[in-house]
Amino acid sequence: MTHTVQPDEPSGVPDLSEPHTWRLSIELKALTLSTQAAMVFARYHLPPPLASLFNPSLCVFTTHPAVMCRRNTNTHLPNAFRAYTLPALSVDRLREGMLQGAVICIEICHKDKFRSDEVIATTSIHLEEVLDAPLSDEGGCRCLSMDLPLLASPSNQSVTGPARQCGRIRALLYLEDLGGDKAPRVAPYATAMDNITDLSMIEPSDISRHQQHSTLSTDSTGNLRPEYICAVELETWKKNEEAKFRVWLREQEAARMKTLNAEYTAKEVTRQREFAEKIKSLASLETRLKKKATELEQREVRILAAEDSIAKEKEGVATTLRRRDEEHACTTESTFGQSSWYWRADELYGPLPHQSVLLSVTDTPDLFMIDLLSVPSCAVAQKRLVTDHEHALRLQAEKTKIANKRASEAEERIKELQQKVKDAEESANKAHATLRSSNMVQLQADVKVLKHQLEQAAHRELLLAKSRDHFRAAVRQLCNQLDKQNVEVEEESGSESESDSESSSPADESERIRRLEAQKQSLLDTGVYAAKDATIQALNEQIARARDWRT
């Protein structure tokens, strides 16, 4: 609906030549560091012309808490809004007396747990520039957005070069006209949401907007309209619900982490017990293998000693046979080479078939030798000795074969045991590798689960932030709609007064009733108003009066 300003209507532009009450708001939005990463917070002091108007504790402003600002990353500064209400001054007096030459020096400080706070960068804001900013609305609010470069402080050695620029900071300046000199003096606001009570009323009234500001109480919500109380209560409820959800989320995360730690501890205890049992079994197997290898070595030593003794016995038998052969040859030669006399020895040895025993007596009286002179008897004895020796040799050869066979079997057994030892070592190495790999796989799986949970938590935080932003946008939209409805209701009240003085046609009155019902239905559809609200009741009264007039 278009509203045309009549010539006799007062202009909406305030008279700035008269003293007005002003509110100066400063907000530090975001910070970017290009040379280093630091745990930063911003701090500034009000310049002398403004500092004399406030308590010294309010002249120093610091953002809190300190946030981690990484290199070349745009970082939001929390709790960075502060508003100051100035005394009643004209525009010229405000420009010349308060804001001319007033410069706010903003310090970017690094917060360290083990050292005092260190100033790493500085920048400055000229407050006089906000007076040249265009008006953002008809209420007389001026907004100036600035992107300021940050210059490194002399104590910051991480920045080199003549420019010494180490980042940028975005700041907003607001200058609001609160009306005449009777406007209230309010304390500085800590956050932007604290200023929600300074919005205009929805219910139509004959007083101006500045007079409405003068009737508001900024310390409590007792004198506010129900619509604003509902909005404040909704915002408070939203914050409480978010806080409760964060507490619940932290409790769930703590319980989940406790469960995961308990499961991981139980798995580690079981794994350590199995590993200790496996190590113990491998140690016992290694002990048995070492004992068996020692027994095999001792057996091999005994076999080698037996082989040496058999070889020595074989050499001894061969030497004995050779010596006997030599003695026999010497005896035979001496028997046929000597000159001796012989006699029959049948009485001494008995009659032997085909044999005869001859006794030879040498010429030397000291020696008396009795020889067996029978050649066939010597041959038989020699054959018997040879047979005995051959039998002994065969027996020793059989014993040697048996010993060699046992030695080969022992060597094969040793090789088998060595192969078993090698297989056992390989299995032990594989078991160690499997245990290590299983530990790493389990740990990687646990890490993936925890990362997934962290991503879900971050996603939920993002959804909460989006919900909060959406709620704030909805509240602002509702406030704008309420302002528009206030203007429309004022226009309707003006048109009603005109209609009382002038006659209207029934068709115009029907159109007016239809328009009022449409406005009432649109307000009810927003969900903010109820049937018992003052605005809806005022519309009902206007509709009833219009219907009574038509009838």
Neighbours of 197 (CB within 10 A): 20
Residue-wise pLDDT for 229-261, tens only, equals: 888 888 888 898 999 999 999 999 999 999 999
Question: What per-residue confidence (pLDDT) applies to 185?
Answer: 45
pLDDT per residue, tens digit, the chain (551 aa), is: 333 333 333 344 455 567 888 888 999 999 999 888 999 999 999 888 788 888 888 889 999 899 999 999 999 999 999 988 887 777 777 877 778 788 899 999 999 888 888 999 999 998 888 888 887 765 568 888 999 999 888 887 777 766 688 899 999 999 888 876 544 444 444 443 344 333 333 333 333 333 344 344 344 444 556 777 888 888 888 898 999 999 999 999 999 999 999 999 999 999 999 999 999 989 988 888 898 888 888 888 888 888 888 888 888 888 888 887 777 777 766 554 444 434 344 444 444 444 443 344 444 444 334 444 444 566 777 777 888 888 888 888 888 888 888 888 888 888 888 888 888 888 888 877 777 776 777 788 888 888 888 898 888 888 888 878 887 787 778 778 877 877 887 777 666 666 555 555 667 778 888 888 888 888 787 776 777 877 788 888 888 888 887 77
Angle at 44 between CA 42 and CA 48, to 5 degrees: 180
Q: Is the dihedral of CA 68, 73, 76, 80 positive or negative?
A: positive
d(CA 135, CA 139): 8
Question: What per-residue confidence (pLDDT) applies to 367?
Answer: 39
Neighbours of 285 (CB within 10 A): 16
Which residue reads 């879900």 in tokens?
456
DSSP-assigned beta bridge partners for residue 43: 62, 107
Terminus-to-terminus CA distance in the chain, angstroms? Answer: 27
The full DSSP string for 516-531 is HHHHHHHHHHTSS--T
Q: Is the dihedral of CA 343, 349, 355, 361 positive or negative?
A: negative
The full DSSP string for 213-228 is HHH--SS-STTS-HHH
Residue-wise pLDDT for 138-197, tens only, equals: 556 888 899 999 988 888 777 776 668 889 999 999 988 887 654 444 444 444 334 433
The SS3 call for residue 274 is: helix
Q: Could you give the C-alpha distances from 527 to 227, 382, 530, in angstroms and in order?
A: 11, 140, 7
Under 8 Å CB-to-CB from 99, ≥6 apart: which residues? 49, 127, 128, 130, 131
Question: What per-residue confidence (pLDDT) applies to 43?
Answer: 93
Residue 345: phi, psi to the nearest 5?
Answer: -125, 40
Question: What per-residue confidence (pLDDT) applies to 193?
Answer: 39
d(CA 468, CA 186): 27
Q: With helix as H, strand as E and coil as C, how does 437-452 read?
A: HHHHHHHHHHHHHHHH
Q: Where are the beta strands (DSSP E) in 308-446?
A: none
Compute the 3-state secondary structure of the chain and give helix, strand, coil in percent, each to the nearest 5.
60, 15, 25
d(CA 525, CA 527): 5
DSSP-assigned beta bridge partners for residue 146: 171
294-302: long-range contacts, CB 8 A cutoff, minimum separation 24: 296/410, 296/413, 296/414, 296/417, 299/410, 300/407, 300/410, 300/411, 300/414
Whether the CB-CB separation of 161 and 196 falls below 8 Å is answered with no
| pTM of the shown model | 0.34
Question: What per-residue confidence (pLDDT) applies to 62?
Answer: 92
Whether the CB-CB separation of 106 and 122 falls below 8 Å is answered with yes
Question: What per-residue confidence (pLDDT) applies to 341?
Answer: 39
